[in-house]
Amino acid sequence: MIRLYPRRSYGYPAHGIAFTLIELLVVMAIISLLIAILLPSIERARMAAKESGCLSNVKNIGTAGRIYAIEDPQEWGIPAHPLLYSQGDRRNPIYIGAYEWGGKSGIGWSHYLGAPDPVNSRYGTKAGFGPATRPLNQMLYKAGFADHATPTFNRVGALQDTTLDLALLRCPGDDGPPRGAHCPDWVLHTERTSYDQFGTSYAANLFMIGGPVGDTPMWSNSPYLRPLSRVPNPTRTLLYEENIGRWAWATRREACPTDSIFPGVDPGPTKTVRGWHGRDWTYNRCFVDSHAERQKVYIEGTEDEDGYAAHYRMEDLVKYPVTRPSPQSNSSWCSFG
């Protein structure tokens, strides 16, 4: 029997070309290097996409607010929740309205109506703030939502309200609270998104300035409870923003243990409030004229000896609002007239 063998080439094995160990290690090193180079770029691209989606959301919310104002008899771009008018004690209201304008049911302050339970949330359906009652939802979601609080409370439905996926009201980068702020409830739940805590990733601009003593009318440069056509500088007046940016505005200089309601949580040694898109003090915001932009609220050059800096500046208005002496005190108050 004649057997045929593969012809050998000098210096190479009969069964093909093989790699040496050193060659394999070099290839693996090259692949690892490429991965190390590409991963940060991929992560930056992913973060940029989230930031772009968030900016689009907040612009759409601002646009919806302006459309709402056109149809609203009082021309308010930040809708007032129906419960605003049923609060018996106006000096100590049960809510202010930064979140109740739109969104799903939140689960924050879960002990508000009893034992800790998502349905007992301060921002939930049982408390009267389910998605069916939040006014701007009517503009953003035409199909509407079932009311699981009236005429009788539906626990199953209320729990479903906490799991709704409302993409327009959820920032893609929303991954939890800042390191420090005026209210510890959300800060201490580091794993909880603003969307789950409050029902939305975005907050309305309700900031008002009170007189130097209590019980005085509010000085206000806010569009809250004001016709949008009478906002003095719509291109510079904030309407809606990422909620973590609102908390940056309200960050306390330090913890205030004597304040039983908002004791505050100091932002820590770095004295910064992070953003959801990789930059401290930088947030997506929409203004009264409905344009949206990424804005840094930290004011460079205002740092004190302890490292704290100013992080918002009040608009210096010349003509409006008009300040005059208050008849109730020696302080001044603001006319919306």
- pLDDT(115) > 50: yes
- Report the pLDDT value the prediction gives residue 188, as an integer from 0 to 100: 82
Task: Categorize the per-residue pLDDT at 108 as very low, low, confident or very high, splitting at 50, 70 and 90.
Answer: very high
Q: What is the CA radius of gyration of the chain?
A: 27
Entry pTM: 0.78
Residue predicted with more confidence, 79 or 90: 79
- Are 219 and 209 contacting, i.e. CB atoms less than 8 angstroms apart? yes
pLDDT at 179 over 80: no
Residue range 240-276, pLDDT digits in tens: 999 998 888 766 555 555 555 556 666 777 778 889 9
Q: Which residues pair with 241 in a beta bridge?
A: 203, 285
What is the three-state SS of 228-241? HHHCCCCCCCEEEE
- Which one is predicted more confidently, 213 or 32? 32
pLDDT in tens, 123-166: 999 999 999 999 999 999 989 999 999 899 999 999 999 999 99
Sequential DSSP letters for 122-137: TTSTTTT-STTT-TTH
Longest dimension (CA), the chain: 123
Instruction: Using alpha carbons, list the distances in angstroms from residue 215 to 32, 119, 330.
Output: 65, 34, 12
Per the structure block, which two tokens stand in for 95? 């809510």
Return the pLDDT at 46. 85
pLDDT at residue 335 greater than cutoff 50: no
d(CA 78, CA 4) in angstroms, rounded, equals 89
Three-class SS of 165-198: CCHHHCCCCCCCCCCCECCHHHHCCCCCCHHHHH
- pLDDT for 255: 57
**Which residues, including other chains, have CB under 8 Å from residue 7's CB and lie 6 or more apart?**
none
CB–CB of 238/248 below 8 Å? no
- Contact of 201 with 168, CB cutoff 8 Å: no
pLDDT for residue 307: 74
Residue 235's Cα: distance from chain center in Å? Answer: 21
Give the mean pLDDT of 81-87: 80
How many angstroms separate the CA atoms of 231 and 221, rounded?
8
How far is CA 29 from each of CA 49, 113, 225, rounded to the nearest angstrom? 30, 59, 62
Lowest mean pLDDT among 105-114, 138-147, 164-173, 294-303: 294-303
Instruction: Give the mean pLDDT of 73-90.
Output: 82
pLDDT number for residue 329: 34
CA distance 161 to 201: 16
pLDDT at residue 23, rounded to an integer = 82
pLDDT score at 331? 31
Residue 227 burial (CB < 10 Å; 0-12/13-18/19+)? middle
Q: What pLDDT is attached to residue 148?
A: 95
Average pLDDT of the chain to the nearest whole number: 80
Is the four-CA dihedral 83, 86, 92, 94 of positive or negative sign? Answer: negative
